[in-house]
Amino acid sequence: MSRTPAPRKPRQRSQARIDAILAAARALLVRDGVAGLAIYNVAELAQIPPSSVYHFFPSVPALLEGLTADIHAAFRACLEAPIDPHGLSTWRDLSCLLEQRMLDLYNQDAAARQLILAQHGLSEVTQADRKHDIELGALMREVFARHFVLPQLPEDVDVFTLAMELGDRVYARSVQLHGAITPRLAEEGMRVFDAYLGLYLPAYMARRGSTPTEM
């Protein structure tokens, strides 16, 4: 005898609605840009009442902050994905790998480019992006420290956060000029990222768990 499926918990239903709202907002952001995003348009595309959108996201800036958090979750996943330590001879190999992963995400996610790299002038989104950048910078430092013995770094400067933000400035310039991250400016952004880290990281650092013959 087949069992009747247990009803979904309220939290599951709420998360499903949040996911639907964010998916609709992403689609509209890509199609119309930040200026064209409206709660009623999101509700119509998500096929849910506007009141439900307002329940979770009471304003367009709140909705954009939610999208920013969602996008940064994807960036965190990039940093947390497995890394083969045998492919790392120097820290620059790790730098290139991580930045390429994040660049690939930008290239695959038009909403991420619109929200983080395009000019929109929304202070709420900029502040949320900055907060998430600090978290990503701390996570990137952890990833580097997992594979290499880091030198003493300044406490008053978020080195890895600044490296990411400087690279993003180049990618943003490309989006403003060309509507996309061109291969040439992608290369320049990665060079800026790598060059800034090189101000604080020596050319050669000991690898975690390495032997003298592996250095």
- Per domain, the residue ranges of the chain are 9-58, 59-204
Q: DSSP strand E in the chain: where?
A: none
> Can you give the pLDDT at residue 150?
96
Tens digit of each residue's pLDDT (9 = 90 or more) over 70-125: 899 999 999 999 999 999 999 999 999 999 999 999 999 998 998 888 866 667 77
CA 160, distance to chain mean position in Å, is 14
Asked if residues 53 and 21 have their Cβ atoms less than 8 Å apart, the reply is: yes
Provide the CATH number for the domain formed by 9-58 in this structure.
1.10.10.60
**10 or 213: which leads in pLDDT:** 10
Higher-pLDDT residue of 107, 211: 107
- The CA dihedral of 25, 28, 29, 32, to the nearest 10 degrees, is -160
pLDDT at 211 over 50: no
Q: How confident is the model at residue 210 (pLDDT cuts 50, 70, 90)?
A: low
Check: CB of residue 117 under 8 Å from CB of residue 168: yes
pLDDT of residue 38 exceeding 50: yes
Residue 55 has pLDDT above 90, yes or no: yes
pLDDT one-digit tens code per residue, 8-19: 554 777 888 999
CA distance 171 to 188: 9
Distance CA 143, CA 110 (A): 27
| CB crowding 112-136: b at 16 or more within 10 Å, else e | bbbbbbeebebeebeebbeebbeeb
Residue that the structure tokens 């990665």 belong to: 190
Beta bridge partners of 148: 207
Fold of 59-204: Tetracycline Repressor; domain 2 (1.10.357)
Q: What is the pLDDT of residue 13?
A: 79
Range among 62-71, 128-137, 179-188 with highest mean pLDDT value? 179-188
Give the angle subtended at the CA of 125 by the CAs of 121 and 128, to the nearest 5°.
145
Average pLDDT over residues 138-147: 96
**Is 59-204 the same fold as 9-58?**
no
C-alpha span between 55 and 144 (Å, rounded): 40
Output the pLDDT for position 33. 82
pLDDT at 7 over 80: no
Q: Does the pLDDT value for residue 6 go beyond 70?
A: no
User: Using CA atoms in the order 184, 187, 188, 190, what is the torsion angle rounded to 10 degrees?
Assistant: 160
Please say if the pLDDT value at position 143 is more than 90.
Answer: yes
CA distance 29 to 5: 36
The two three-digit tokens of residue 81, written as one number:
């994905």
What pLDDT does residue 169 have? 94
Contact 152, 91 (CB under 8 A): no
With beta carbons less than 8 A apart as the criterion, state whether 147 and 94 touch. yes
Please give the mean pLDDT across all residues of the chain: 88
